[in-house]
Amino acid sequence: MTRTICLIAACLPVVLMSLSAQSVTFSLVPNWAKLPSGWVFGHPQGFPLPAERERALAEAELTRAAAIARGETPPPRPANLQPGVSGVAVDRDDNVYAFHRGEHPILVFDESGQYLRSGGDGITGTVPHFIEVDDQGNVWVVDEAAHRVLKFNSELTEILLQIGVTDEPGYDGVHLDRPADVDIASTGEILIADGYGNNRIAKFSPDGEFIEQWGGGPQDESTADGEFHLPHAVEIDQNDKVYVLDRENRRIQMFDLDGKFLGKWTHLGYAWGLFVSRDGQYAYIAEHDNEQVMQVSTATGEVLARWGRQGHGPSEFDWAHGIAVDSAGAVYVADTYGQRLQKFVPTNR
């Protein structure tokens, strides 16, 4: 009880909207993550304003498309237009792992925000996307632009497994094409949201052998149940129920571990980030159109809490992307263009 009171006293209140009588409220823990001196999330030079970066990205894509049409190798996308924290995960000890687009791409903090260690320097310069920590403490990262998923040991000193061929996209049991997310089932089987290029969930054995896929195909962007248009996140609860954030179809689909369709939610907006509690009771959504975070009952689909808006102030987001929750119910949000990791604690559980 004393710990809870101290946390609340150090927090800023969050305004919640459109909630039921069973709503939970969350409060911001200001300036939570404490980086080593001179370190930053993302790029030291910061980021362009929204209109400027969208224009620059559009121009870069036109240049790349023209090069491809001429049969030339396209120039790389500008690295500094999508800086900041892309993914976040929490381990069994409530240590927090930030995956960001800058130096020292994996940063680890304890629950109080104290820096513990870093790793993953070999993936600097690509596009870090999402991150996951399995029950054994191994750290999985999705290196989107390099078309691969990497499994690190808990100390972040060794790569134990790679799925996908570095810098070589493809659509088969060996290659990935701009994967988005990964999660691990209780069986040890690996599910990868091979989203940007292949529109599929790819299932692998614990040692990385391809088993099967759901949906799929670079040109297959179907709205049918069990099909996907950019599966952007995948989550598995302790009962091996699978939740897939089908981003461009603006829905979340549910499956069993063999890919049997179980249901869907279509009322949660343009969701980008997804976390499901281990007991399967709650889902947490990072929604892009309104730059909001939502807590949702998985039993009913009801939104229990909702907060955030566009901006760089406290409890505001500029590309809320990754999301994770610890054992105490604290919510961590990877605020990509905000170049920060924000923490919110429940105040009326």
Tens place of pLDDT per residue across the chain (349 aa): 333 333 333 455 554 544 554 567 999 999 999 999 999 888 766 555 555 556 666 777 788 788 878 888 777 655 555 678 999 999 999 999 999 988 889 999 999 999 999 999 777 556 889 999 999 999 999 999 899 999 999 999 999 999 999 999 999 999 999 999 999 999 999 999 999 999 999 999 999 999 999 997 877 889 999 999 999 999 999 999 999 999 999 999 999 999 999 999 999 999 999 999 988 999 999 999 999 999 999 999 999 999 999 999 999 999 999 999 999 999 999 999 888 999 999 997 6
* Res 51: pLDDT: 57
DSSP per position, 300-338: T--EEEEE--BSSSTT-BSSEEEEEE-TT--EEEEETTT
Rounded Cα distance, 267 and 116, in Å: 39
Q: What is the spatial order of strands in the sheet that 261-265 belongs to?
A: 231-236, 242-246, 251-255, 261-265
Helix-strand-coil percent breakdown of the chain, rounded to 5?
15, 40, 50
Rounded Cα distance, 157 and 32, in Å: 26
A 10 A CB-CB count for 211 gives 13
Cβ burial 132-166 (10 Å sphere, 16+ → b, else e)? bbbeeebbbbbbbbbbbbbbbebebeeeeeebbee
Topology of the domain covering 2-346: Neuraminidase (2.120.10)
Task: Decide: 271 and 245 in contact? Cβ < 8 Å.
Answer: yes
Q: Which of 224, 204, 206, 227 is nearest to 216 (CA)?
A: 227
DSSP per position, 210-252: EEEEEE--TT----STT--S-EEEEEE-TT--EEEEEGGGTEE
Rounded Cα distance, 288 and 273, in Å: 9
Q: Which of 265, 270, 302, 304 is nearest to 287 (CA)?
A: 270
Gyration radius (Cα) of the chain, Å: 19
